[in-house]
Structure 1
Amino acid sequence: MVLKINNELIEDFSSFEDLLNNYPDLAETSINWKNSEIKTVYKHDRFVYIGQREMGILDTSDQNVNVIGSEDATTCHIVILKNLTTQSYGIIHIDSHRENQLEKLVLAMVQNYKTDSETSQNNLNTKFEVYIVGGYNDEKDTSRQITRTVMNYMISEQTKLFHLKLACAGFINTRTVENLENEILNYPAPIHYGVAVNGKSGLIFPAKFISHAPDKDIRMLKSNVVLVYNSKEGRICVPVFDYDSCSSAKLWIQVNDDIILNNLSTSPKVEPSHFCDDMRNMFKRMVTDPDPHETLFKNNSDRYYSLNNETLDWELDNPELYGSNHTKDKQQFSLTDFIRTAKKI
């Protein structure tokens, strides 16, 4: 019970290059997937967007949602798991090698379908298909560190069986951006930033999304990995969390793109075009909502969103509880505060 490719046990991992050289079938599948067309996911597809440090679980029988996926992965990895017992799909957007984020999805998928009548032994034998997308041969080697954490977890996990079916990551997911004026400035970049799965058809495809709603600016502020959607509930949930309001938030809103990219990104040369605006919106939320328990999580309650079957928008449940927040921020900000915060980040 660990990691297998073509039913062959994988006992160690060095790199995707070595792995795919040893398993040409997996290499062919991954290269073919890399060369497939990127599809845009629209509202009529009835989708859930999973952001960084978020997880989702989609059943094939879900009546509200057909598609679940994520994008904006540069050094991050997006992993899709298929539970071969329940046929459900799980997805997670992994952004760090310092914690075992994939294990959180595995545990959530097992727990989500556990009943009182099931024994612990039933759950020890869970089998998953694994699809990895994202990460590239970046200049800081950040992607490779995340890859090792993901792969080593599956190899060492003794209670679950993983079948690796797709590895569009690392060197396979890397292209070179050429600068015709100065060859020295050529640099690597990802080919694919996103992936989605259609729960009805089982199709896993390169994806970009028409929207990252709801409330992306709020969701970006959390620090823990959280489950934001599962088909049992049928609603998007942003669990209660807290954050320390950044003393330099107002200044971050005003600085130019280069400062944001060079201080807040692991891959400043290859971030999607909306990255800087997303970061500014996050800092704006800090300014307008310095105390999230007062304005964002009333009565210490999670935020729930339901899909409007007419507009196909995810709408906040009980919006009347929140009202309009016109918080007046009385803090004073200095350039010293800004530089100190930038160094911490």
Structure 2
Amino acid sequence: MPLLTQNKRIERVTSTAELFSKHPHLKERAQQFVSRSPEAVDTKQLLYVQQRECAATTPADNSVSILGSDDATTCHIVVLRHTGSGATCLAHCDGSSTWTEVPLIVSAVTSRSNPAKEGRLELHLVGGFDDDRSTSHSLSLSILAAFQKQKEEIQLETCCITGESSLYETLTERFCPSSGVNVKTGQVFPASFTCRGPAEELRSARTFSGAEMVEVYDSSRELVKIDPCRWTPNNDMAFWLSQDDETILQYLSTSPHAEPPHFVHHIKSTIQFLLDHPTADGLFPGGQPQLYRRAEDGRWKRA
């Protein structure tokens, strides 16, 4: 089935500029989106989604009201929601395996939707900017093409991506495309987060080591689930801990001029975690996943 917007088919395009030219309402909506100030998200309602992760749930969830992610400089945040069931998935895509990730996102929503419920699938895309290597632009086109290949009919509602996702005209300013989605209401909005857990460093280490996208939430049990993963010991990484910020930005970022202020600290803490845990075996006793449940104080606690 085709990818649609305002019930009109979106044909394959060769650039995001062509997309916005053919569908100017998408550009207007993108400009409206970035003009809004980010909303601070209450940690007690949030499930934060890291790079190369996705999470899905429904309005019946008593532990999660908001799915959110940020730091989408060359990455894209993808939100797919069924208006009838309210089933919602948020993913943070970096282009590592778009053609397998998009079906995973669609399946996460359709599997949680009652076929008898009337409604439609609505898509929201946020992230990317016009970087020198066109990394974002290529990802934008790949995501659009992958959704066009799905058998389900999907309506593109928000397209705040490469060319329209930045509040800034130059790369001298740092920006941080972000998005949250209220699972109860379906509202998609710019968001800010003070917590990126649970198990932030472990999840970051998994991605840093090259793992594929995974679904990190079991909505039926309302548990964050981190499955066993593997990485190879590499003491050479210690080299980066002594490097200055500019060096790390230059060599370990796809967008060195656009990263948020906490990027270098995040990279160094992830590397230190990998050095402290040369293998992941001890983090998953008996080969079992790490599980986290929402505690009475609103924090995620090890189950």
- TM more than 0.5: yes
Q: CA deviation at 1:191?
A: 5.1
Q: Which residue matches 1:302? A: 289
- Residue 84 of structure 1: CA displacement? 3.5
Which stretch shows the higher mean deviation, 5-14 or 95-104? 95-104
Asked whether 1:286 is paired with 2:274, we answer yes
Instruction: Give the corresponding residue for 2:163.
Output: 171
1:53-64 to structure 2, matched below 5 A, reads 53-64=52-63
Partner of 1:206: 190
User: 2-side partners of 1:3 and 1:188: how far apart?
Assistant: 35
| Equivalent residue number for residue 235 of structure 1 | 223
Change (3 A) 1:154 1:176: same
Distance 1:256 1:192 in 2: 21
- 8 Å CA contact 1:48, 1:68 repeated in 2: yes
What's the offset of the Cα at 1:171? Answer: 1.2
Percent of aligned pairs sharing the same letter: 25
CA RMSD of aligned residues (A): 2.1
Counterpart residue type for residue 16 of structure 2: F
- What is the aligned partner in structure 2 of residue 257 from structure 1? 245
Deviates more, 1:130-139 or 1:191-200: 191-200
Give 1:90's aligned residue.
89
- Normalised TM-score (structure 2): 0.91
Instruction: Supply the distance in 2 between the matched residues of 1:95 and 1:139 (Cα, whole angstroms).
Output: 16
**Equivalent of 1:155 in 138, 148, 161:** 148
Q: How far 1:126 moved relative to its partner?
A: 9.2
2:13 match: 13
Query: Which letter maps to 1:194?
Result: S
The residue matched to 1:268 in structure 2 has which SS? coil
Distance apart, 1:80 and its partner CA? 0.3
Higher relative contact order (CA 8 A, sep 6+): 2
- 1:62–1:35: structure 2 CA closer, same or farther, 3 Å change rule? same
- How is 1:57-72 mapped onto 2 (pairs within 5 angstroms)? 57-72=56-71
What is the DSSP-based 3-state SS (H/G/I as helix, E as strand, rest coil) of the residue aligned with 1:287? helix
Name the aligned partner's letter for residue 130 of structure 1: L
Structure 1 gap segments, 5+ residues each: 178-185, 318-345
Cα contact 2:81–2:186 (8 A) shared by 1: no
Aligned to 1:49: 48
Unmatched tracts of structure 2, length 5 or more: none
- Structure 1 match to 2:24: 24
- Tell me which moved more, 83-92 or 190-199: 190-199
**TM-fit CA distance, 1:24:** 2.6
Alpha-carbon distance in 1 for matches of 2:287, 2:113: 27
Alpha carbons 2:171, 2:258 under 8 Å: kept: no
Q: Go from structure 1 to structure 2 and tell me whether the alpha carbon gap of 1:257 and 1:17 turns closer, same or farther (over 3 Å shift).
A: same
Q: Cα offset for 1:98? A: 4.8
Instruction: State the AA in 2 paired with 1:56.
Output: A
Matched pairs, number: 297
Counterpart in 2 of 1:216? 200
Residue 265 of structure 1: how far off its partner (Å)? 0.5
SS of equivalent residue, structure 1 residue 91: strand
Q: Which has the larger radius of gyration?
A: 1
CA distance 1:245–1:47, change in 2 (3 Å): same
Partner residue, 1:328: none
8 Å contact kept, 2:123–2:158: yes
Aligned partner of 2:138 in structure 1 is: 145
Which residue type is aligned with residue 223 of structure 2? R
Map Cα deviations across residues 55-87 of structure 1 (whole Å, 9 max, x no partner): 011211111111111001100000100123422
Whether the aligned pair in 1 keeps the contact of 2:48 and 2:68 (CA below 8 Å) is yes
